[in-house]
Structure 1
Amino acid sequence: MSETRWIHWIDGDAEHTARWHSETGMPAPRQVVPADDRVNASTAHRLTCEGTALLWQGDYHQARQLLGALGRRIDRKAPPVPSETSSANAAFHLQRRASGHRARVLGRLLVPLGADHALALRRAPDVRAACEEAYGPPRPTPSVVSLRELLGVLGAHQWRTKGLDVSAIGARIHPHYGVFSPTRGEYVDLVARAPLPHPASHGGPAFDLGTGTGVLAAVLAHRGVSRVVATDNNPRAVACALANMSRLGLTRQVEIAGGGALFPPGRAALVVCNPPWLPAKPNSALEQGVYDPKGTMLHAFLTGLADHLLPGGEGWLIMSDLAEHLGLRAPGELRAAITAAGLRVADRIGTRPDHLRASDPTDPLHAARAAEVTSLWRLTPERPER
């Protein structure tokens, strides 16, 4: 965190201060009161909705139960699901507002961490390793974090430890906290089966832009691409991709580059990009792998692609059309952007999603999710170099 923030509360006659930590960018609460097992869900819901944060000092498992009870109360009071006559766009924005409100209220149940990241509650698990992975080395002073965020940190630690099976490489990818996880395998499978352009299959290098965990770079290496340069401007992603390439034995074949540039220097036979799919504002820094307000990364890829391709090379754009079904991107807008960048579509390979929400009729966005198609667009310059 670039700026140290502090929270203050009074317990009895004593004033207390602790460092505030939030990976999601949640502001430090202005009003904090101590709470323990005697606080019921009704009181906790009222206080947190009013903006008061509860610093938990009781039993860890009781705190988790209270968090669940708060979530159920918030959901019961949420606006009704739009009717079938409502637009998908309205449903999306209503859901985003409800999601943001839910995150803010639940984020006001706080827990104390010692200077060594130990969770100072009765019956608390050992969270030190998970916190060090997400928050960095211990600091000289204790801190306070949202219980909801801490549970996310613990869940990410499990993903990192166990890994995620990726059939396209016959191995497991281990996501780090704050790095987009390849849980939706359909886009990975598209990269695994699309025909490689001739220069890439005959020794030409490839670029993987916004590599995240490094999964697509690993797929390309597994397919025989001799050299892959993978970029990402997120330091967490760079560390994650480096660890995965080392684990997979691909460090000689795949180079991971950090920094602010989307494209690495030079040209490639194949440039792969899987940008955020939805041009909408993220509710937190951790959502930036899904939401990109103005499609900044998408347009940077399209406008820079032709200058970074070798003769005969291709750019592979992996995109869902969910944004079109939600009214966030106009029909034909993506094709128009491709044309405006001086590119043409050599082919488009599509697949249907197989995640649970696509088949959940209770999801307010079910109609859009059920119609979604994820595509790999094979792009070449309109006027290829000779």
Structure 2
Amino acid sequence: MHLPEGDAACAQQVMPGNALRWFSANGAEPPVRFVHADDRMSANRAYRLVSRGTGLLWQGDFHQARQLLSALSRRLQRPQKRTSSAAEAFLHHRQEQSRRARALSLVMVRIESDHALELRRAPDVGPACRDVYGEVDAPYVVPLRELLGVISAGEWRRKGVAVPALGAHIHPHYGVFAPTRNEYVDLVADAPLPPVRTAFDIGTGTGVLAALLVRRGVARVVATDSSARAIRCAEDNVRRLGLTGRIEPVEADLFPPGRAQLVVCNPPWLPAQPHSSLDHAVYGPESRMLLDFLDRLPDHLQPGGEGWLILSDLAERLGLRTRAELLDAVHRAGLRVVARSDTEPRHPKAAAPGDPFHAARAGEVISLWRLAPIEG
């Protein structure tokens, strides 16, 4: 079976009872059964079908398909369950999000082998699909919801995201966390930086923090990520910024070989199960990346070096992790806190009373923890 060579590794299977292949860069599973659907299908019938796990292969108008997706999203919304704690409420909310995402992924469209979407009033999806799914030799089927994300990501990739602290644009690829919120970047831009020749950027994503460190005077940055798509994205941004030779993107499990004077890490902030490949930048099961980073940091610091940990306290405000647990993990790793700088978030959800976790988000603080090995 041919595997595409795009930015995203695709879950790829043959559709049941059909020669068409199923692609999903977001890790969605294909339906066990599906029916053809068009503009004549009512939202209520579509809701009954997807609720039973039946896929809808859309053959009607593109804008009608988008409206159907919106109608299904409203019908799939359930009232927030009463729970005994913020942590329980959050985990229930995540389960509901996963349930809705699975049902919505059952509305599908066929893409031709030249990446054309042959539906009435459909946009040109070719360049965006080619970026994500690579070159293909036969038609394939993708979830419409994912395709809309691919189209949006294609625009971001083309135009870029302005990063004021960098004085440049970063061009995110599909499935790589985009620096649309600049608070964590500003913390790295403002932290006191002694002369540093070599730095590691762990979990680099788009490469934005690696680029910022170089712009601040670091001679060389090794930027690691466990995601191949993130490494390709970082390489793209390094080329665009003219920093080739000063930033080395490397696919690795956290640390590269050797030691550095500065090691920076912005791990997933919330200890929860990711439900898709896009979730991994935000949700880390049992805080594994955070704890692994702390445990291994002393072995990768040069004498007198520092580790910069960028972390939100939202997990603490939701009851998913306590400050004492975080500080215990720092101490167990043989580290001490040199200093901490804080900032408040500037994202829309923090000011949205309709958000079920408005109170926690409204008080959220994002911190840069400067860590060093305990002496003696």
Q: Is TM > 0.5 for Structure 1 vs Structure 2? A: yes
Question: Is residue 30 of structure 1 aligned with residue 32 of structure 2?
Answer: yes
Choose from 62, 65, 85 the match for 1:63.
65
Cα displacement (A) at 1:182: 1.1
Q: The residue matched to 1:305 in structure 2 has which SS? A: helix
Deviations, residues 109-156 of structure 1 (Å, cap 9, x unaligned): 11001112211212211111101111112x222111100000010010
Q: What is the CA-CA distance between 1:18 and the residue it aligns to?
A: 0.7
Instruction: Report the alpha carbon displacement of residue 337 of structure 1 after superposing the two structures with TM.
Output: 0.2
CA-CA distance at 1:301 after TM superposition: 1.2
Where does the alignment leave 5 or more consecutive residues of structure 1 unmatched?
10-15
Structure 2 match to 1:134: 132
Secondary structure at the aligned position of 1:332 is classed as helix
CA distance in 1, matches of 2:106, 2:55: 4
CA distance in 2, matches of 1:45, 1:323: 34
C-alpha displacement at 1:82, in angstroms? 4.5
CA contact (8 A) 1:206 1:268 kept: yes
Alpha carbons 2:203, 2:254 under 8 Å: kept:
yes
Structure 2: which 5+ runs fail to align? 1-8
Give matches, 1:97-112, under 5 Å.
Answer: 97-112=95-110
> In 2, distance between residues paired with 1:312 and 1:4?
48
Q: Report SS of the residue matched to 2:41.
A: coil
Cα 1:178–1:380 shift into 2, 3 Å: same
The correspondence for 2:250, drawn from 257, 276, 294, is: 257
Which secondary structure does the structure 1 equivalent of 2:320 belong to?
Answer: coil
Match of 1:158 in 2: 155
Q: Is the 8 Å Cα contact of residues 82 and 364 (structure 1) preserved in structure 2?
A: no
Would the aligned equivalents of 1:316 and 1:379 in 2 still touch at CA under 8 Å?
Answer: yes
Q: Which amino acid aligns with 1:134?
A: V
Q: Which residue of 1 aligns with 2:338?
A: 346
SS in 1 for 2:289: helix
Partner AA of 1:109 in structure 2: V
Corresponding position of 2:375 = 383
Q: Report the count of equivalent residues.
A: 368
Deviations 1:228-276 (A, max 9, x none): 1111111111111111111111112211112x33111221111000011
Q: Could you tell me which amino acid in structure 2 is paired with residue 47 of structure 1? A: L
161, 165, 182: which is aligned to 1:168? 165
- Check if 1:205 corresponds to 2:205: no
TM-superposed CA distance for 1:87, in Å, is 2.0
Aligned residues with identical type, % of pairs:
58
Please name the residue that 1:315 is paired with.
307
Q: CA deviation at 1:94?
A: 2.0
1:221 to partner: Cα distance:
0.8
Matched letter for residue 166 of structure 1:
V
Aligned equivalent of 2:86, options 85, 88, 95 = 88
Q: Does 1:232 align with 2:225?
A: yes
Match in the other structure for 1:12: none
Q: CA deviation at 1:305?
A: 1.1
Task: Give 4+ residue runs of structure 1 displaced > 6 Å after superposition.
Answer: none
> What TM-score comes out, normalization by structure 1 length?
0.92
- Assess if the C-alpha contact under 8 Å between 1:199 and 1:313 holds in 2: no
The offset of 1:101, in angstroms, is 1.4
| Cα distance in structure 1, aligned partners of 2:50 and 2:144 | 13
> Displacement, 1:341?
0.3
CA shift for structure 1 position 187: 0.4
Mapped to 2, the partners of 1:51 and 1:163 lie a distance apart of 37
CA distance in 2, matches of 1:359, 1:3: 37
Q: Helix, strand or coil for the counterpart of 2:123? A: coil
Question: Is 1:191 equivalent to 2:183 in the alignment?
Answer: no
Q: What is the CA distance between 1:369 and its match in structure 2?
A: 0.8
Aligned: 1:6 with 2:4 = no
Aligned equivalents of 1:352 and 1:81: distance in 2? 29
Q: CA RMSD in A?
A: 1.5
Post-superposition offset of 1:310 = 1.4
> What does the per-residue CA deviation read over 1:181-231, in whole Å, with 9 as the maximum and x for residues that have no partner?
1112100000000001x341xxx2111011000000011011111111111
Corresponding residue for 1:222?
Answer: 215
One-letter code aligned to 1:255: E
Relative to structure 1, is the Cα distance of residues 5 and 343 closer, same or farther in structure 2, using a 3 angstrom cutoff?
same
- What's 1:290 paired with? 282
Q: What does residue range 39-58 of structure 1 map to in structure 2 within 5 Å? A: 39-58=41-60
Quick check: 2:170–2:206 contact (8 Å CA) kept in 1? yes
What residue number does 2:357 align with?
A: 365
2:156, 2:85 → 1: CA distance? 36
CA distance in 2, matches of 1:244, 1:179: 12
Q: Following TM superposition, by how much is the alpha carbon of 1:2 offset from its aligned partner in structure 2, in angstroms? A: 7.2
Asked if 2 retains the 8 angstrom alpha-carbon contact of 1:81 and 1:364, the reply is no
- After TM superposition, give the deviation of residue 370 of structure 1 in Å: 1.1
Tell me how far apart the structure 1 counterparts of residues 282 and 31 of structure 2 sit (CA, whole Å): 27
